[in-house]
Amino acid sequence: MDNFTVGIVVFPGSNCDRDVSWALEGCLDIRTKYLWHESSDLSDVDAIVLPGGFSYGDYLRCGAIARFSPLINALDEFVKSGKRVLGICNGFQILTESGFLPGALVANKNLNFICDDVELDIVSSKGGWFNNGDEKQTIKLPIAHGEGRYHCDSDTLKKLIDNELIALRYKNNPNGSSFDIAGITNGKGNVLGLMPHPERACDETIGGTDGLFTLKSLILK
Amino acid sequence: MDQFAVKVFVRLRPSVLDPAGEATKSASIKLGAEGIKSLRIGKMIEVKIEGNGENEVREKIDLLCYRLFANTVIEDYEYSLEKL
């Protein structure tokens, strides 16, 4: 695992790329590499994080333009190979826009940009992204978004529930998300998208360490 | 080559809550406008495009609408097309 490298994708407008790098390198001693969105060479990274921010200024829709970058085109093979991809906040929006995950993220119900800590129930163990034992477990992570209301049709919601693809649910739904959904995985479990920011909860001095487990699980096979 | 002016309208699907529309409806009522039953906000995209006839241009616009202009999970679209 010494050479395990996590690629952090940088779009014009990404602003959590350095936070993710700090959390992985500084808190977990995991090597990282920034990947400019125009690159399509993913050969020397073992997992990928799509960080938060406002890629392309959120023009048209959040994540809509980023979807067409060479890097996202190359992501299809990467995902099919079973390697892990974590989309945080804007990264989650990009994953839904590009069809790696179902549904969409739309404007918060109350139109506020919400910047707060939220309590989350860990629902599914798919992919091993969260440390949930036999008992129901709750974690606290920060959120910071204006368009984080998860939306999907009822058929998709049923599939998410039936296939245990819902990873996290808000305890006190802050944004009006369908079924209190805060994060979901793909069927295989190697792709996770979530609105909360695990990279902002990796050190007690900044308020908590509940995000460490998720980032650490990037190195799982 | 023919040139066309296309107006694409992108709207949130009726089943998707439009909080910006709700806020604007509320402001409209505060302004004194009466009788507003519903107010929803969409986008209009204007495109000037060349092609060999209307059918070819419609194919291009259909692709743009479906793949880029609208996210059909949450939005519907329609467009009008005028030969220049």
The pLDDT tens digits for A112-159 are: 999 999 999 999 889 999 986 656 699 999 999 999 999 999 999 999
The pLDDT score that the predictor gives to residue A125 is: 81
Q: What number is the average pLDDT over the span B6-17?
A: 96
Q: Classify A65 as helix, strand or coil.
A: coil
Tell me the shortest Cα–Cα distance from B74 to chain A, in angstroms.
7
- Rounded Cα–Cα distance for residues A213 and A181 (Å): 19
B25: left (phi over 0), alpha (psi -120 to 50) or beta: alpha
What per-residue string of b and e applies to A100-111 under the rule 16 or more CB within 10 Å gives b? bbbbbbbbbeee
Tell me the shortest Cα–Cα distance from B43 to chain A, in angstroms.
9
Predicted-assembly ipTM surpassing the 0.90 threshold: no
- Rounded Cα–Cα distance for residues A180 and A159 (Å): 16
The pLDDT score that the predictor gives to residue A136 is: 67
With a threshold of 0.90, does the pTM exceed it? yes
User: Is residue A197 annotated as part of the catalytic site, yes or no?
Assistant: yes
Report whether A108 contacts A219 (CB < 8 A). no
- Rounded Cα–Cα distance for residues B67 and A99 (Å): 11
Q: Tell me the HSE value of A140 on the side-chain side, using a 13 A CA sphere.
A: 8
Domain span including residue B57 = 2-83
- Rounded Cα–Cα distance for residues A191 and A200 (Å): 20
Closest to B22 in 3D by CA, of B43, B35, B34, B39: B39
- Rounded Cα–Cα distance for residues A165 and A124 (Å): 7
Residue with tokens 């333009």: A65
The pLDDT score that the predictor gives to residue A41 is: 94
The pLDDT score that the predictor gives to residue B64 is: 97
The pLDDT score that the predictor gives to residue A221 is: 76
Which of A64, A149, A153 faces B71 most closely, judged by CB atoms?
Answer: A64
List the structure tokens of A97: 């826009």
Q: Is B15 on the interface with A (CB under 8 A)?
A: yes
Q: Is B23 on the interface with A (CB under 8 A)?
A: yes
Residue A196 DSSP label:
S
B73–A103: do the CB atoms touch at under 8 Å? yes
The pLDDT score that the predictor gives to residue A131 is: 80
Residue with tokens 């529309």: B21
User: Is residue A199 annotated as part of the catalytic site, yes or no?
Assistant: yes
Residue of A nearest to B21 (CA): A111
Q: Contacts of residue B73 in chain A, CB cutoff 8 Å?
A: 96, 102-104, 151-153
> How do residues B12-59 score in pLDDT, each as one tens digit?
999 999 999 999 999 999 999 999 999 999 999 999 999 999 999 999
The pLDDT score that the predictor gives to residue B78 is: 97
Query: A84-88 and A47-50 as β-strands: parallel, antiparallel, unpaired?
Result: parallel
The pLDDT score that the predictor gives to residue A207 is: 85
Digit-by-digit pLDDT tens for chain A (221 residues) are: 568 999 999 999 999 999 999 999 999 999 999 999 999 999 999 999 999 999 989 999 999 999 999 999 999 999 999 999 999 999 999 999 999 999 999 999 998 999 999 999 999 889 999 986 656 699 999 999 999 999 999 999 999 999 999 999 999 999 999 999 999 999 999 999 999 999 999 999 988 999 999 999 999 87
The pLDDT score that the predictor gives to residue A133 is: 66
* Contacts with B37 (C-beta within 8 Å, 6 or more apart), sequence order: none
CATH of the domain at B8: 3.30.1280.10
Phi, psi of A122 (to 5 degrees): -80, 120
Whole-angstrom Cα Rg for chain A: 16
B20–A68: do the CB atoms touch at under 8 Å? no
Give the number of domains in chain B.
1
* Contacts with A42 (C-beta within 8 Å, 6 or more apart), sequence order: A7, A35, A48, A71, A74, A75, A77, A78
Catalytic residue among A89, A97, A145, A152: A89
Tell me the shortest Cα–Cα distance from B79 to chain A, in angstroms.
17
